[in-house]
Amino acid sequence: MYNKAVALKYEENLQKAPKVVAKGKGHLAEKIIQKAAELDVPIFQNEALASSLLSVEIDEQIPAALYQAVVEVFVWLMKNEQSVNANR
């Protein structure tokens, strides 16, 4: 189903930018997606962004050139969380 996956983590007061905490293609991508689903982590699909993030090393912050694209993911995530919380 998924041929690429990248997991990001951002701690507002501790990091300047989000960092890559997991990444992979093929079977590894499927395992990352499966783990996210098990932990109820929302999954945002953007193949071009995933491809760009695959070049970032694990535990490395994303490059400035990808800030805007990743901000859009975090905005989506915040809206998604607000929607879920409103329905509880």
- Token pair in block for residue 40: 């109820």
Fold of 4-86: name from scop (3.40.1690)
Q: What angle do CA 38, 6, 77 make, to 5 degrees?
A: 65
Each residue's pLDDT tens digit, 63-82: 999 999 998 988 988 888 77
Q: Tell me, what's the pLDDT at 1?
A: 60
Using CA atoms, how far apart are residues 35 and 32, in angstroms rounded to an integer?
5
Where does the chain have alpha helices with state H?
27-38, 47-53, 67-86
If phi > 0 it is left, if psi is from -120 to 50 it is alpha, else beta; for residue 59 that is: left
Domains of the chain, residue spans = 4-86
Each residue's pLDDT tens digit, 13-63: 999 999 999 999 999 999 999 999 999 888 899 999 999 999 999 999 999
